[in-house]
Structure 1
C-alpha cells in the first residue's frame, strides 16, 4: 500500500512575490478514490521500522508488541549459554542465551551450573520480534499465542513450559530447531539439545548473593517465578502441576572453603545483564542470528484488513493482535506455512537489511538536524531569513542527487496561481532511486512487502522535502515576515513526517551519556511491573544509568523529537 499525500504548496516566484497553489503530488500507484483511506491506514512506516529493527535491542524494547515472524538461522560456531541447577544437558526443550550475562541472570541457587554449547550444524529457527520473551499482559507474546493457540491467551501469560513445548511441537513440521525471542537480551528456545549442538563445558560457578535486589519485589519475582517454573520442570515436576510462588528469599549458596569477600550482588548482575543486551542496541544488532528476509510475515501487512481497523487511531505501543479475524489469521498462517515450506531458494539475493539501512543512514541525522534548526528556541535567537536560508541549504543537501539540471520554476504566467510540477521529476528520482532497479517478478511475497514499505517511506520523505524545496528555492529573496511564516509551515510539515516515521534512533539520550553511564529505557522486568495492564504507566523516557550503581539520572530535558 502506498501513501498518497495531498497538501497546499506555497510557491515562491523569482520576483519575490508568492502565490498559493493547491498542488497534488501523486504517488505512482495511488488513486483519488483510495487516497484518504490510505493516509489513515498506511502501514509502510510500521513495516519499514519493524524490518529495519529486527534483532536490535533498543527498538524492540521501545516497540514491545512485535508484529513480525521471520525465518532465521544460527550459524555453525555460535556459542550458547544455559544456566541450571546441575551439570546435565537438558533432555527436554529449554532456554539458552547468546550472552553469558543474560543466562547468569537466571542462575538458580543453591547451586549454579553454566553449560556452554557450540552449534555444530546451522540451527533453523524463527524469530518473534518485539519483547517477545517478556511475560506480560500488555501484548508482548501475542504473535506466539496466535501461532500456538490461534488467539491471544491472557491465561497463558506465565505458561512458559507449555509455551516452549507447544511451539516446538508446532515447529516439527518445518524441521525447526528452536525460536528466538527477546527480554533484556536475545534467547534461543532450543527444542533438542542433542541435535546440532555440542556441550563444550559444564562448570559449577559462583552464584550471586541470595538477597533480593533493592527494587520493586515484583521485578525480582518475575525472573524468580519463571525460573522456579523452569527449574521445577527440569528437575522432574509434572507440567500439570501449578508453579510454586517465588520464595521471598532465595536459598543461600554454600561458600567454598577459603572464599573471601562478598558474592556478586543482584544490582551488579542486573546491570551487567542490561549492558550486555545493549551491545546489540542498534544496527547491525544480534549478528549471531541471520535473518531470511525472503520468509517474513508481518501483521502490519495491509492485507490483514481486520487489524487495520483495530489499529486506527491507536498509538503503536497499544497495537495488539486481539482483534485479528479468523480469515486474516488463516491468511497469515498460510503465508507463514508457504515461507517455511518453500524449497526454491532462487531468490533475488537482495540485502534488505542494507537497503533499509541506506534509507535511515541518509535521513536520520539530517532530519533531526533540520528539526533542531526549526526549533522555536533556535528561531527566536536568530532572524527568520537566516534560519530559512539554513533550511534551504539542509534540504538542498538531501535532494542534491535528484536536483535535475533545469528542473526549475517558470516565470509567473499571469494566471491565478500556478502548479509545482517542476519539482515532480525531483520527487520521482528521490523516491525511486533505491528500488527502481528491482524487478518485482524476482521477489518473494515477503520481499515485495518490504520493497513496497521502503518505497512508501521514501515517497513520504521525498514528498515532504520537495514541498519544502518549492518554498525554500527563492527564500533568500523573501522578507523576514514571509520567512517566519514559511518556518512555521515547515516546522509543522517536518513534525508530521517525523511523527509518522517514528524512528527509534531519534528517541535516545541527547546529549549522550557520560562515559560512566549508558542510555536506558525501561526494560522488562525493570522499570515496569510484570503484572501491569496499562502501558501508559510505564516511563519510557530515555535516561542515563550509572554502569556501577544502577542509579538513574534525571530524564533528559530536551523535548521529544516530534
Structure 2
C-alpha cells in the first residue's frame, strides 16, 4: 500500500492499539505532570516527591560553578556543580566563615547525566525516596538502617549514586532544590575543564574558628548534639540552609557575623531560582523514550498510598515493596544499557503544548463559574461558557459540514473526513476523537510503531488520557450550553458545570495555575517557597506546619530582594 495512504489510517491503528495494548490509565495525570514538569522549577516544588528518573545529555561548553572553603584543585570526587553562580556563592560565602574560592568549569563535550525529578536535592520526607530505592535496592522497611541511609549524609548519597551511575557510563546526577545542580562524579574527567579559580571572599568575612562540612558528610551526627535520626524532621541545633533572618543582626546560620556584601547572597540565590520557574532548565536534553517512573501502572504496591491524596503527599519509599523496587531498577538498568533511539518525539514539548492550550481557558472558566451569584446575568454566563468551550474545540469541530447539528451531535456523534490532498484516504471521525488524538495521531504510522519504546507507549497513553478528559468535559459544556433553551434550568446547569470544572482541576493538579495574586514591585520577585532559602518553618521539615495545607503553603508570593 502506498505510504501516503497508510499515513491516514491513523485512527484505525489507534483504535486497534487501544483494544490490544491494554494499559491501566489511573496514574495518567501523575505521569503527565511528571513529564510536563521535567527540569522546571515550580512544578517540581509543587510536586516535590519525585517518582521519575530519566537519562539525559549535558551540552558541551556549558558553564558550571563550584564554591569551596579551600584551594584543593581538583576537588575530591564526587562534588557539586551549580548552573547558577549565585547558588554556589550563597552556599559558601554567605553561610560559613573563612575564605571562599569560586571555581568555574566548562564542559568540553557532551556529558551523560541521570536526572531525578522533584526536589531531589533537598532534605526532607519524600524528597529523597527515589534515590533511596537506587541506593538500597529495597523499600524502607528493609532498606534504611541496614544500608546506612542517612538524611544528612549527602556525600554518602553522592558516592552511592555515582558508583551506580559511573558503571553505566554517566558523568553526573542532576537534581533540584532552589535551582538545579549536578553531582559531578569525577573531576579528573576530560569532559570538564577548569576555566578560573578566584578568591571571592567578601570583605569583612570572619576567620574560621571551626570547620563544618557542607553538605554534611558521613561524620556529621556522631555526637548527640548534631545527630538527627532519619525519621525526625526537626531542625538540628546547627544546620545549613538557614540564612539571615530579619533582626538577627547579620549573624549567619552558624552563629558568625556575616560579611556585609554577603548578606544578600541568599536573596540573589532566590532570584536565580526563579529564572526558569516555568521554563526548562537550559543546557540539558532529556531522553524521553527512556523515562522510567514509579507512577507507571505496574507498581501496584503504591496504589493504596495515593488514594485520596494530592501528588504533594505521594510518599514512595515507605510504601513500596522490595519486589517493585527490583522491577523498577531492572527497567532503569535496561533503558540505560540499551541504545534504542525511540521515535525522537519531544514528549515534554507535546505535554507543554497541551497545558499551554488548555490551562488559561480552564482557569477562566473556573473563575467565571465560581463567581456566579444572584446579581449576574445568567444568560451572559451561559453564553460565555459556550464561547470558552467552543474556542477549545473549534480546531476539531466540522461545523461547516453540519450547520444544523445540535451541540451534542457536532461534538460526540457527527463523523467527518478531513480534507486531504487528492488521492488520499482518511477515516471519518468525531470531533471528540480528533481532539483526543490531536497530539499523538502521527504515532500510528508503521515506521514509528516499530521505533516506539514501552516507555513511550505509556507517555502516549498519559497524554491521550488527559486529552480525552479535557475534550469530553469541554465538549459537554459546549453541547449543553449550545442546546440549552430553557432559561429556568440555567442555575442547575451552571452548578453542574462548576462541579465538573472543579473536579477536572483537582484531577489535573497542574502547576500552570501557580501565580502571585499581586503584582510584585521592581525590587521583588514572585517565588514559591524554595528549599533551603525560604522554606517556612525551617528548611528541614518539608511540610507547611500546623494549621496550613500544602496547597496554601506552596502558593507563590512576592518577596523583596533587598535587606
User: Structure 1 length as normaliser, TM-score?
Assistant: 0.79
The runs of 5 or more residues in structure 1 that have no matched partner are: 1-26, 212-223, 254-261, 412-418, 550-562
Aligned to 2:383: 389
The yes-or-no answer on 1:306 pairing with 2:301 is yes
The runs of 5 or more residues in structure 2 that have no matched partner are: 1-14, 228-236, 240-252, 416-428
Aligned to 1:441: 450
Partner Cα separation in structure 2 for residue 373 and residue 485 of structure 1 = 15
- Aligned to 1:510, the other structure's residue is in SS state coil
The yes-or-no answer on 1:328 pairing with 2:308 is no
Aligned to 2:463: 454
Partner Cα separation in structure 2 for residue 304 and residue 173 of structure 1 = 26
Aligned to 1:44: 28
Aligned to 1:114: 102
Partner Cα separation in structure 2 for residue 489 and residue 226 of structure 1 = 58
The yes-or-no answer on 1:540 pairing with 2:549 is no
1:497-555 CA-partner distances (Å, limit 9, x unpaired): 11111110112213443333221222212224244275564622321111224xxxxxx
1:14-70 CA-partner distances (Å, limit 9, x unpaired): xxxxxxxxxxxxx99889xx99xx6xx811111111111111111111111111100
- Aligned to 1:434, the other structure's residue is in SS state coil
Contact 1:228 1:246 in 2 (8 A): no
Partner Cα separation in structure 2 for residue 122 and residue 131 of structure 1 = 25
Aligned to 1:97: 82
The range that moved more, 96-105 or 365-374, is 365-374
1:447-467 CA-partner distances (Å, limit 9, x unpaired): 111111100100110110111
Contact 2:518 2:558 in 1 (8 A): no
Alignment of 1:249-260 (within 5 A): 249=254
The yes-or-no answer on 1:508 pairing with 2:493 is no
Partner Cα separation in structure 1 for residue 402 and residue 385 of structure 2 = 20
- Aligned to 1:174, the other structure's residue is in SS state coil
C-alpha displacement at 1:208, in angstroms? 7.9
C-alpha displacement at 1:249, in angstroms? 3.8
Contact 2:537 2:545 in 1 (8 A): no
Partner Cα separation in structure 2 for residue 228 and residue 265 of structure 1 = 19
- Change in CA separation of 1:208 and 1:490 when aligned onto 2, cut-off 3 Å: farther
Contact 1:385 1:484 in 2 (8 A): no
C-alpha displacement at 1:229, in angstroms? 3.0
Contact 1:109 1:207 in 2 (8 A): no
1:455-488 CA-partner distances (Å, limit 9, x unpaired): 010011011011112211133x331x32222111
Give the count of matched residue pairs: 478
Partner Cα separation in structure 2 for residue 436 and residue 64 of structure 1 = 32
- Change in CA separation of 1:251 and 1:92 when aligned onto 2, cut-off 3 Å: farther
Alignment of 1:393-404 (within 5 A): 393-404=387-398
Contact 1:131 1:181 in 2 (8 A): yes
The range that moved more, 485-494 or 303-312, is 303-312
The yes-or-no answer on 1:263 pairing with 2:270 is no
Aligned to 1:149: 136
Alignment of 1:27-426 (within 5 A): 42-87=26-71, 88-107=73-92, 108-136=96-124, 138-150=125-137, 151-152=139-140, 153=144, 156-195=150-189, 196-207=191-202, 227=214, 229=216, 246=238, 249=254, 263-266=260-263, 268-283=264-279, 285-321=280-316, 322-345=318-341, 347-376=342-371, 378-405=372-399, 406=401, 421-422=413-414, 425-426=430-431
- Change in CA separation of 1:375 and 1:144 when aligned onto 2, cut-off 3 Å: same
- Change in CA separation of 1:408 and 1:68 when aligned onto 2, cut-off 3 Å: farther
Partner Cα separation in structure 2 for residue 68 and residue 186 of structure 1 = 16
Partner Cα separation in structure 2 for residue 381 and residue 276 of structure 1 = 46
1:83-117 CA-partner distances (Å, limit 9, x unpaired): 00123221321011000001112114301000000
C-alpha displacement at 1:164, in angstroms? 0.6
Aligned to 1:216: none
Partner Cα separation in structure 1 for residue 108 and residue 412 of structure 2 = 61
1:130-155 CA-partner distances (Å, limit 9, x unpaired): 1101011x110000000011234485
- Aligned to 2:87, the other structure's residue is in SS state helix
Partner Cα separation in structure 2 for residue 225 and residue 47 of structure 1 = 40
Partner Cα separation in structure 2 for residue 533 and residue 278 of structure 1 = 19
Contact 2:412 2:432 in 1 (8 A): no
Partner Cα separation in structure 1 for residue 537 and residue 403 of structure 2 = 54
Partner Cα separation in structure 1 for residue 432 and residue 402 of structure 2 = 11
